[in-house]
Each structure stands twice: as structure tokens, then as C-alpha cells.
Structure 1
Amino acid sequence: MIEEAATAPAARRSPSLAYKPLVLVALGLVYIVWGSTYFGIKVAIESLPPLGMLGVRFLLAGAILYGFLRLRGVPNPTREEWRSSAIVGALLLLGGTGFVTLAERDVSSSVAAMVIAVSPLFASLFARLFGERTTGREWLGIAVGLLGIVLLNLGDLRATPLGAFLLILAPLCWTFGSMWSRRLTLPKGLMGSAAEMLTGGALILALSVLFREQWHAPTTASLVALAYLVVFGSIVAYSAYLYLLENTRPAVATSYAYVNPVVAVILGVGFGGEALTSLGWAALAVIIGGVVLVMWPRRR
């Protein structure tokens, strides 16, 4: 996927009655791949330190993408673009993905994904702060999604206070960084993804060293999960998400938070031995309903 410039004219983001094919492809990638990364993270941190694993993941993905782009003649980011990339990388990768990774030490991957469904609410709030409008139907969809989160808290959200706090803080950092990125001067195209992953990954790895995380011999399953996270979770899906930020409404770009739980639950229950109560399944059904309202195209 190719990210458009962060300073693209507002007219290019004007809503229409139908989504462009490339937008639909990007949505499919973000929905399915990111839904599976919750389970991938759970497997990876079974034998790898959370921050260390995440730092290696983003540094590898960023280095691979950066090297490929430079070989194809893509110019190196300017100093201002590197600085903006570091800000976005810190908010999205450390604050967003990092806090989820730390929280998954205490909660299941499926429940973690379901809690992150509050992202569209934060995205709409921040969008209003940045001067963008949220429709009544989008607010209704957000409310329906949050109702699902309430049901989840009544049934399946069993976590330590720190784990629960991190799960709420993660989407707050992620969505604020997403909205702010639309106003920053970032590298064009996939170079934006590479720069953010390099700077964010370096920061996460530095924190891993600062906190003296212990490294042990990883299992084969953890290494396979890490490789999947590097290629698909970072290079493919993250680039698709940046494309969505520049070509769709905030509520649409963050609607992955409603679909990811479906994929996460299927993988967690089917392959990870996790379980949901009947109230948890009801919460999942309500969350799915929220995405229908949020995703329905606007009229001009």
C-alpha cells in the first residue's frame, strides 16, 4: 500500500457514497492481519520479553522496508520528517502496540482485542479537536460498540488493574497519534511506514534495555510468531493503515477495532485454548453491529 502525503488537500479526503477498491483492500488487510496479531503477540511473548520482542519486530520491519525503498531510489527523509516520524512512532508503536503487548501478559488475546474497540470513540473525539466532523450515525455506531465493551467488562475482562489500565491507555495513544499524523510533515509513501517503525522500534528497544528485560532461548513458536508480526503485522498491515488514514474518514480508518476482535476470538478460542462466556459472545455480537453503522458510507 502507498501512503499519500500527510499534507494532502482536504478535497482528496472528501467522503463519497462508495469506497475505492484500494481502500477496500487496505481495510481487508487491516481487519484480518491485525486481528491475528493479538494472538501472534501472545505466542511471541511466551518466550520473548514484551518490549524487546516489539522493538526487534519494528526495527526489522522498518529496516527491510527502508532498505528496499532506498534501493529503488526513494529519497531519504528530511530532518523534519524524521522528527515527525519519531513522534508518530512513539505514540502508535510504543504507546499503542507497546501497551497492548504489556497488557497481554495478564489478559487473553481475544479480550485485549475486544477492549481496543474503544479506538473509534477516541478517534472521533480527537477528530473534532482537529476540526473534523463526526456524523450522528457514526456516534450511534460508536455507542453500540461501547455497549459491547460494557458487556465484556461484565463477563470476560479479568485482568490486573495495571493490565486493564494499559488496555485503555493504548487506544488513547494510538488514536491521538493517528489524528496528529494527518497534520505533521511525514515522508511520502511507504517511506513513512519505514521511518516510523525505525524510530519507534529504536525507542522501544531502548526502553527494553533500560528496564533490563531478560532474554532467554526463544521457542520455535515464538520465532515464527515474531516473523509473522514483522512481515504481515508491520510491513503489510501498518502500511495499509497509514493509507487509510489519508484516504478515509477517521471512523472508517479505525473501524478495524470492531472487526479485529472477531478474528482474535476465532484464533484465541480455536488455537490458543482461550474461552469466552455467553456474555462475552453477546458482547462480540454487539461490537460487530457497531461496525455496520460506522462503516456505512456518508452522503455528500
Structure 2
Amino acid sequence: MATTITPKETSAKAGKPLERSVYAHATTPLVLAAFAAVYLLWGSTYLAIRVGVETVPPLILAGLRHFTVGVILYPILRWRTRVRPTAANWRSAVVTGWLLLFVGNGGVSWAEQIVPSGITALLVTMVSLWLVIVDWLRPGGVRPAPKVVLGLVLGFAGVALLVGPSHWGGSERIDLRGVAVLMIACFAWACGSIYSKHGGMPRSALLGVAMQSFSGGVALLLAGLLSGEFHHFHFAAVSWPSWVALAYLIVFGSCIGLSAYLYILQKSTAARVATYALVNPVVALILGWLFAEEIISLRTVIAAVVILTAVVLVITAPHRAPARKTDLEPVPAPGEV
């Protein structure tokens, strides 16, 4: 697609900020396809997890998913990138793998035993809010702007609405145990995301993901062993829908979805990429309603509007000029990668 060079773009060659170049290829068919993949594939992972945990214990399901991704991708990416991870790289991968995948994705998988997949996706959007809080509280952190503070208040008000009085809005309130686990998962994901930007990951983003997947997968499988999940787990008892769900999570959720996400990070702006956080829960709610008989009640609709409004306020608020490019990039949520 031909792109007209504007005076702003011309002036950028003289050392001024380039304002249009990041949009130059934002509407090519491949970029649009990558956005569609991130929107639809990651939005559908919540239903896949829900189907998977029907006959596979949650820690084993998440562990098999991430361990398989790590074992497959790591040797391929080592060969293609020629990057040799250092001990510091592995240390960062272990820490972030445990925070992001063991606590984060493992928590989501456990919660989906008692929380509908659509509601889970909605609550997981709180990662955007927890990122602000963690980035504020860390040493040398950034105090949030008033617009962001309003978003934080609205977001937690939306969660309170979901766990409010029973029968309000034509539905039961969400199980408090599941909400608590999801909030812990989101907090851990935010901590891992902030740490990964400053903790010495390898220069190849995909190789770093493979290392995190391997580390997190090992932690999840060990946790499944120690918690007794393997004692009650039998491969013969796993239904074919759960096997299909696991394969879907590995291939489409982790491999294809993540590749599409990293691609649009390179080809589009952070603000546009961040829209996936608004689309994914809507996709998850619709899929849960269509295929898992999950109810979309008045309570759910109002809470969704409140929480997603909060996310919009946070991701559209002006931020300080970052020291590193990665500070601008939105991060995937714990139910997706």
C-alpha cells in the first residue's frame, strides 16, 4: 500500500519525532489477520481451558500446555536465533515463568473449575490495573495520573459488583474463592510482567517465551505432583474434548496467538495492540454463552461495562516517556499465553 510522506514525516528525518511511520503498515492484510488472530484466538482460550479442566486437573492441564510449548520451541529458536542464553537470562526466565505461568495461568486454570469462562476473562482484564499498581509501588515507581486512579476505582468497583449481593441482576454472585484466586493470578502476572522488562531476558522475545514456558511448565507439573493431582489423574479418563482443548491451547493459544501478538507489536502502536484487552473478554463471554451454556446476566453486563471502562481509562491515559521501548508495550493476560 502506497504511503504519502507528510511534512511531519519529513521533519522526522531531521531528528524530530516521527508521528506517522508507526501507522504506515497498520492496515495491511497480514497485520489485520494478526489482529484478528489475537482477538479471536486469545478470546477463545478461556473456553478451551474450561473444557480442558472438565477431565484434566487444572495444574496438569496448564503444566502440559506450557511444558510442551517450551520443549518444542526452545531448541528451534536456539537454532534459528543463534542466541545462547546466559545464567542471568535463565534466572529471569525462571522467576517470570513462575509468576506468569505457575501462579498466573495456573490460577486461571484452577479458577475456571468454579468461575464461568466469560467471567474469568472479564476479571483477567484487571491485569491492566494491577500493572499500574505494581509499577507504582516498585522502587522508583511511577505515581498514576488522576485518570488512571479513576480507572483503578472503577475497576475494583466492577469486581465488587460481580461478588455483590446474591440474586441481584438476575444471577448468583461469583464464587469468592475463584475471584480471590484470579486476583492473585492477576497480581502475580503484573509482577512478572514488570520484572521481565528489567530482569535481563534474552534479546529474542520468542526465545524468552520458550524459556518461561519450560520453567513455568515444570513448576506447574511439580505443583500438580505435590498437590496430589497426578494421584487421581488417569489418561484413559480424559475426554476427547479435553484433549482437543489442550491441543488448541498449545497450537493456537500459545504458538500462533503469541506469534501474532509479537508481530502486531512490531507493526502497530501500543495503543492499538492494547485493544485486545477489551475484545478478548467480549469474545469469551459470547463463546461461553454459545458453547458452554454460561448465562450473561444483567449483573454481568453492568460489571463488564464498568470494568472495561476502567481498562480504557488506564490504557489511554498519558504516560511518562519510558526509558525502554518495552515499557510502552501492553502485556498478554494470564489466560492467553
Q: Paired residue for 1:44?
A: 52
Q: Paired residue for 1:146?
A: 156
CA–CA separation in structure 2 for the residues paired with 1:168 and 1:291: 15
Aligned CA distance change for structure 1 residues 31 and 294 (closer, same or farther; 3 Å)? farther
Q: Paired residue for 2:92?
A: 84
CA–CA separation in structure 1 for the residues paired with 2:283 and 2:195: 28
TM-score (norm 1): 0.81
Aligned CA distance change for structure 1 residues 171 and 215 (closer, same or farther; 3 Å)? same
Conserved? CA contact 2:89–2:202, under 8 Å: yes
Question: How far off its partner does 1:164 sit?
Answer: 2.7
Q: Paired residue for 1:184?
A: 199
> Comparing both chains, which one has the higher relative contact order based on Cα–Cα distances under 8 Å and sequence gaps of 6 or more?
1
Q: 1:188 is paired with a residue of what secondary structure?
A: coil
Question: How far off its partner does 1:33 sit?
Answer: 2.6
Q: Paired residue for 1:107?
A: 115
Conserved? CA contact 2:49–2:245, under 8 Å: yes
- Give per-residue Cα distances to partners, 1:275-296, cap 9 Å, x unaligned: 0221211222333333443343
Q: What are the within-5 Å matches in structure 2 for residues 134-283 of structure 1? A: 134-154=144-164, 155=168, 158-189=173-204, 190-213=206-229, 214-216=232-234, 217=236, 218-238=238-258, 256-283=276-303
Identity %: 38
CA–CA separation in structure 2 for the residues paired with 1:160 and 1:282: 18
- Give per-residue Cα distances to partners, 1:18-44, cap 9 Å, x unaligned: 965679877665443322111110001
Larger CA deviation: 106-115 vs 23-32 = 23-32
Aligned CA distance change for structure 1 residues 283 and 128 (closer, same or farther; 3 Å)? same
Q: Any unmatched runs of 5+ in structure 1?
A: 1-13
Q: 1:85 is paired with a residue of what secondary structure?
A: helix
Query: Cα RMSD over matched residues?
Result: 3.3
Which residue identity does 1:289 align to in structure 2? T
Which residue identity does 2:245 align to in structure 1? A
Conserved? CA contact 2:126–2:311, under 8 Å: no
Q: Paired residue for 1:7?
A: none
Q: Paired residue for 1:74?
A: 82
Aligned CA distance change for structure 1 residues 67 and 196 (closer, same or farther; 3 Å)? same
- How many residue pairs end up in the alignment? 286
- Give per-residue Cα distances to partners, 1:145-170, cap 9 Å, x unaligned: 33332332235574544323211111
Aligned CA distance change for structure 1 residues 196 and 245 (closer, same or farther; 3 Å)? farther
Question: How far off its partner does 1:71 sit?
Answer: 3.3
Conserved? CA contact 2:129–2:311, under 8 Å: no
TM-score (norm 2): 0.73
User: Please, which of 316, 323, 335 is the counterpart of residue 296 of structure 1?
Assistant: 316
Q: Any unmatched runs of 5+ in structure 2?
A: 1-16, 322-337
CA–CA separation in structure 1 for the residues paired with 2:20 and 2:172: 37
Conserved? CA contact 1:107–1:158, under 8 Å: no
Larger radius of gyration: 2
CA–CA separation in structure 2 for the residues paired with 1:157 and 1:172: 25
Aligned CA distance change for structure 1 residues 252 and 90 (closer, same or farther; 3 Å)? farther
